[in-house]
Structure 1
Amino acid sequence: MYGSRRFEVVEHLLNAELDQAIDDAQKADETHLVRRLCFVKNLYEGKTQQQAGAAVGVSQPTSSRWARAWNQNGIEGLRPRFGGGRPPKLTPAQWDEFCAVLEEGQPWTPREIHTLIEHHYGVTYHPTHLARKLRASGMHYAKPRPMDPRSPDDAEAILAERLSEAFGEDTDEDEKEDEDPVVLGFFR
C-alpha cells in the first residue's frame, strides 16, 4: 500500500518542547514556521507524512521536503529561507537623495527623470515601476501649466466682455430692449 509507509522522525525535541516552540513561533508571528512545526507534531503523534501534510494543508512532496529538513537540522531546517524578493536597485539612502534632487529641481519630465537615474546611479527602471515608486514616496507626475496654452492672449478681456453682455451691463440705449441676453454656463 503506497500511502501507509511510515517515516522515521528524528525527535530533536520532546513533545513539551515542541509545543513550546510552536507557542514561541506564534508569539514571534512566524506563521510559516508554526505550520511546519504543527506538521512535525502530527508526525510525532504517529501520522504518516501524507496524513500529517494533509492536516496542515500541504502536498505530499512538500511534506517529504519538510520531514527531511526536520530530520537533518531540526527547527532551523524548517525555518523559511526565502529572501523576500529581489533587492532594490537603489538603497534607501540613494532613493532619499534622488527624491531630494527631484524636489529641488522641479519641474521634471519623465524622460529627464529616467536620464537622471541612469546617469547618476547607473540603473534603469521601467517607466510604470518608477511612477509607482514615486507615488509611494508621495510624488506625482504633473504638468505645471499656469495657463491653458490653447487660450488666446486676451482671454480675460473676452471673458469680461461676455459676462458684461450676459448680465446686461454696459448696454447701449439703441439696442432693442425686448431682446433677452443669452447666458451660458452653470450658476448656483
Structure 2
Amino acid sequence: MNASRRFTVVEHLSNEELDDAIDVAQKADETRLVRRLCFVKNLYEGKTQQQAGAAVGVSQPTSSRWARAWNQDGVEGLRPRFGGGRPPKPTPAQWDEICTLLEDGQPWTPREIHALIEDRYGVTYHPSHLARKLRASGMHYAKPRPMDPRHPADAEEILAERLGQALGEDTDEDEEDPVVLGFFR
C-alpha cells in the first residue's frame, strides 16, 4: 500500500514570478520567507508535501501548514507573522532615560519603579531582576535617611566623655591643642 497522496497546488505565480519573489525576499533578507517559497517551488516541480518539506528541512505537519497557507493567500500567506522570542525590553536609550528619571525624582520605592517602567514602556520585570539591572547601572535601593537612626541625639557629648575616660583625663574644649586619635593597621 504505497499510495502517496499528491497535493493540488494553486499556482498563484508562474515559475519565473516565483523565482523573482525568491530573489526579492533574499535581497530583503527575509530568510524565513525564502525557505517557504523554495518549499512551494519544490511543490511546483511535482514533489509531494513530505518530499518538498524534507528538501527545505521541515516536518510533514509544517509542510502541510505551509501548503494550505500558500493555497489560501499566496506569498502573503507564507510571510511570517510573528518574529518569535520574548517581548521587547527597553532599548539602551530608553534604559538611560529610566535611570535619569530615577536619579531626578528620588526617592523611589521598588513598587514605584516597577509602575513607572510598566506605565511608560509596557515592560514588566521580576523584582530581583530589576534590582540586578539597577545595580548594573550603578543604582541601589536605599532608604533615604538624613541621619543614621541608630545614632543617639547626644553622640558628640558621649564621644567627648568616653574620650576623656580613655585618656584618663577630663577633656576641656577650651584647650589649644586638642588630642587627636587615629587608627592604623
Q: TM-score, normalised by structure 2?
A: 0.62
Structure 1 residues 133 and 43: CA distance shift in structure 2, 3 A = farther
* Corresponding position of 2:110: 114
* Corresponding position of 1:55: 55
Instruction: Tell me the distance in 1 between the aligned counterparts of 2:43 and 2:49.
Output: 7
* Corresponding position of 1:102: 102
Q: Percent identity?
A: 72
**CA drift at 1:102:** 1.7
* Corresponding position of 1:139: 137
* Corresponding position of 2:182: 157
SS at match of 1:157: coil
Which consecutive residues of structure 1, in runs of 5 or more, have no partner in the other structure?
A: 145-152, 163-188
Asked if 2 retains the 8 angstrom alpha-carbon contact of 1:69 and 1:77, the reply is yes
* Corresponding position of 2:170: none
User: Map of 1:4-43 to 2, 5 A cutoff?
Assistant: 4-43=4-43
Instruction: Tell me the distance in 1 between the aligned counterparts of 2:46 and 2:29.
Output: 27
Instruction: Tell me the distance in 2 between the aligned counterparts of 1:129 and 1:79.
Output: 35
* Corresponding position of 2:70: 70
Root-mean-square deviation (Å): 3.6
User: Map of 1:84-103 to 2, 5 A cutoff?
Assistant: 84=84, 87=87, 97-103=97-103
**CA drift at 1:101:** 1.7
Number of aligned pairs?
144
Structure 1 residues 131 and 22: CA distance shift in structure 2, 3 A = farther
Asked if 2 retains the 8 angstrom alpha-carbon contact of 1:3 and 1:50, the reply is no
